[in-house]
């Protein structure tokens, strides 16, 4: 098994390393499907740092990756409360549609501020 670095951002929550299935969340319907299916073990990617869309599943997912946001964003704050890893202002150097559904790893670099996202190959 190998790891390929596909993105990085600011690690703004717990520093634990997690692996899970990468899921792109674009609509409320995407969240509803996770509620009705299995949210456990998912690492959810969203473009907005608000919690409105992800709130119903935050207690069940393994991690959050957001394209925007900072340490003080609502999603970052709530992720800390739930003690799930969260990366904000994340740049992903990989096609999201190809990454969707693949197994990934969230890793916080030793200084604790930078998070790295790896595709598990």
Domain ranges of the chain: 3-120
Specify the CATH class of 3-120 in words. Answer: alpha beta
Q: List the one residue out of 85, 89, 93, 74 whose CA is nearest residue 109.
A: 85
What pTM does this model have? 0.93
Q: Residue range 84-103: average pLDDT?
A: 96
Q: What's the rounded Cα separation, in Å, for the pair 116 and 66?
A: 12
In DSSP terms, 108 is beta-bridged to: 115
Residue 78 phi, psi dihedral angles, 5° rounding:
-65, -35
pLDDT in tens, 28-47: 888 989 989 889 999 999 99
Q: Residues of 102-116 as b/e, b for ≥16 C-beta within 10 angstroms?
A: eebbbbbeeeeeebb
What is the Cβ-side half-sphere exposure of residue 119, based on CA atoms within 13 angstroms? 15
């Amino acid at each position: 098994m190998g790891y390929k670095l596909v993105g990085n951002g600011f690690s703004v929550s717990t520093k634990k390393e997690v692996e899970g299935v990468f899921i792109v969340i674009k609509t409320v319907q995407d969240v509803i499907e996770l509620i009705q299916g299995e949210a456990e073990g998912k690492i959810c990617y969203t473009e907005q740092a608000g919690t409105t869309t992800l709130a119903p599943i935050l207690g069940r997912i393994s991690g959050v990756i957001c394209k925007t946001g900072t340490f003080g964003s609502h999603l970052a704050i709530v992720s800390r409360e739930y003690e799930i890893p969260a990366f904000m202002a994340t740049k992903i150097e990989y096609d999201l549609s190809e990454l969707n559904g693949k197994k990934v790893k969230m890793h916080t670099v030793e200084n604790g501020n930078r998070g790295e996202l790896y595709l598990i190959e």
